[in-house]
């Protein structure tokens, strides 16, 4: 099993949004970035429940801060996304819709994280299903810090993008 | 009476040797576009800190994935690691998720 090289939007998230059967909201400020080891094998075509934080392959193998102020630096449930400068969602007037946030950094400079291979971006306030996942991002290999700062730098193309 | 605290922080880049100053009181890190690290945004370190900064390329198969590329060579990048005497920092360059299947 391996996290793999792909970064995908969950089809169930798009389906639920179009059918209005879920209450995950990309426009809310309650999204989080949870880190994972190489053990989960993500699949973009799973059910909403299995795409949620705590469901399916996302139920275990989170990477948690074990450093000087553990687990504050990067808790098991992840770090919150923030929008100081980034635009959350681009306008409908272009064919490509982009969801973005500021880079997500550990809460302190004494964070220790071992072999992080990817992350799950999810809505921590969603209830139907609980903590529904938006997408997963593959980091392309093991990433670690020891008593330092861990930062996930999102691409200029955003965390996720959909082209109409 | 309000006490105004002024702190001058001296920064340097172990890769290109650039230096800078900041006067921010809150904890922060200075970044710059580093010509020795393929013109990516790289962290600077407090002057006097012994460290090295390394850029690591992404080695996984790329395919149609929207990974981040360095501006100089257009190569896919995975992370930038700062190794200090007492620890390490890591900036991970995350790809963009898409809805299309592989």
Residue A3: inside a domain: no
- Condensed to tens digits (0 to 9), the pLDDT of residues B13-22 reads 999 999 999 9
pLDDT band at A1 (very low <50, low <70, confident <90, very high): low
Contact call for A139 and B91, based on CB within 8 A: no
**Using CA atoms, how far apart are residues B80 and B89, in angstroms rounded to an integer?**
8
**Does residue A67 form part of some domain?**
yes
The reported pTM is 0.93
pLDDT at position A13 over 70 = yes
Distance separating the N- and C-terminal Cα atoms of chain A? 33
Which residue positions in chain B have pLDDT lower than 70? 4-5, 102
Does residue A50 have a pLDDT over 90? Answer: yes
Dump strand ranges (E) for chain B: 9-12, 19-22, 31-34, 40-43, 45-46, 51-57, 77-84, 87-93
Q: Which domain holds residue A99?
A: 8-163
- Residue spans of the domains in chain B: they are 9-92
Q: Name the domain count of chain A.
A: 1
* Contact criterion met (CB below 8 Å) for A102 and A41: no
A84-100 per-position pLDDT tens digit: 999 999 998 999 999 99
Do the Cβ atoms of B98 and A14 come within 8 Å?
Answer: no
Task: Indicate the length of chain B as a whole number.
Answer: 102
Q: Rounded to an integer, what distance in angstroms lies between the CA atom of residue A111 and that of residue A72? A: 8
CA distance B79 to A149: 13
* C-alpha span between B60 and A42 (Å, rounded): 16
Mutant choice from B45, B85, B86, B95 vs A, greatest count of A C-beta within 10 A: B95
B79 at interface of A, judged by CB pairs closer than 8 A: yes
> Considering only CA atoms, which of B74, B68, B56 is closest in space to residue B93?
B68
| Backbone region of residue A146 per phi and psi (left: phi > 0; alpha: psi in -120 to 50; beta: other values) | beta
| Chain A interface disruption, residue of B91, B94, B100, most A CBs within 10 A | B94
Quote the pLDDT of residue B1: 76
Higher pLDDT, A137 or A91: A137
CB A137 within 8 A of CB A7: yes
Interface contact B102, partner A, CB < 8 A: yes
ipTM more than 0.90?
Answer: yes
Tokens of B29: 């890190």
- Across the interface, do A144 and B82 touch by the CB < 8 Å criterion? no
SS3 assignment for chain A: CCCCCCCEECHHHHHHHHHCCCCCCCCCCCEEEEEECCCCCCCCCCCHHHHCCCCHHHHCCECCCCCCCCCCCCCCCCEECCCCCCCCECCCCCCEEEECCCCEECCCCCEEEEEEEEEEEEECCCECCECCEEEEEEEEEEEEEEEECEEEECCCCCCEEEEC
Query: Which positions ≥6 away from A127 have C-beta within 8 Å?
Result: A23
CB of A1 less than 8 A from some CB of B? no
pLDDT score for A104: 96
| Nearest residue of chain B to residue A7 (CA atoms) | B97
Q: Is residue A1 part of a domain?
A: no
Sort out which chain A residues have CB atoms less than 8 A from B90's CB and list them. 143-145, 148-151
H-only helix segments in B1-102? none
pLDDT value of position B40: 94
Task: Give the pLDDT of residue B18.
Answer: 95
What is the Cα–Cα distance from A5 to B60, expressed in whole angstroms?
6
Dmax over CA atoms of chain A, in Å, equals 47
Residues recorded for chain A: 164
Is the CB of B97 less than 8 angstroms away from the CB of A141?
no
Q: Which of B88, B92, B102 sits opposite A152 (nearest CB)?
A: B92
């989170």: which residue's tokens? A62
Q: How much of chain A exceeds pLDDT 90, in percent?
A: 91
In this prediction, residue B29 carries a pLDDT of: 83
């Amino acid at each position: 099993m391996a996290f793999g090289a792909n970064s995908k939007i969950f089809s169930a998230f798009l389906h639920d949004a179009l059918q209005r059967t879920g209450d995950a909201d990309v426009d809310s400020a309650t999204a989080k970035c949870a880190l994972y080891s190489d053990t989960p094998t993500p699949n973009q075509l799973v059910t909403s429940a299995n795409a949620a934080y705590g469901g399916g392959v996302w139920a275990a193998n989170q990477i948690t801060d074990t450093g000087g102020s553990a687990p504050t630096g990067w808790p098991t449930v992840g770090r919150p996304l923030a929008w100081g400068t980034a635009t959350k969602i681009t306008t409908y007037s272009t064919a490509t819709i982009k969801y973005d946030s500021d880079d997500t950094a550990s809460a302190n400079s004494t964070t220790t994280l071992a072999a992080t291979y990817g992350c799950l971006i999810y809505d921590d306030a969603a209830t139907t299903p609980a903590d529904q996942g938006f997408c997963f991002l593959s980091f392309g290999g093991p990433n670690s810090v020891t008593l330092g700062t861990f930062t996930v730098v999102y691409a200029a193309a955003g965390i996720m993008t959909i082209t109409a | 009476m309000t006490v105004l605290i002024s702190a001058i922080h001296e920064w340097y880049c172990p890769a290109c040797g650039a230096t800078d100053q900041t006067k921010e009181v809150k904890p922060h890190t200075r970044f710059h576009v580093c010509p020795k690290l393929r013109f990516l945004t790289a962290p600077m370190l407090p002057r006097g800190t012994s460290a090295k900064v390394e850029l690591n390329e992404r080695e996984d198969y790329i395919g149609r994935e929207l990974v981040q590329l360095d501006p100089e060579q257009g190569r896919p990048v995975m992370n930038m690691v700062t190794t200090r005497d007492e620890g390490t920092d890591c900036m991970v360059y995350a790809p963009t998720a898409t809805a299309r299947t592989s």
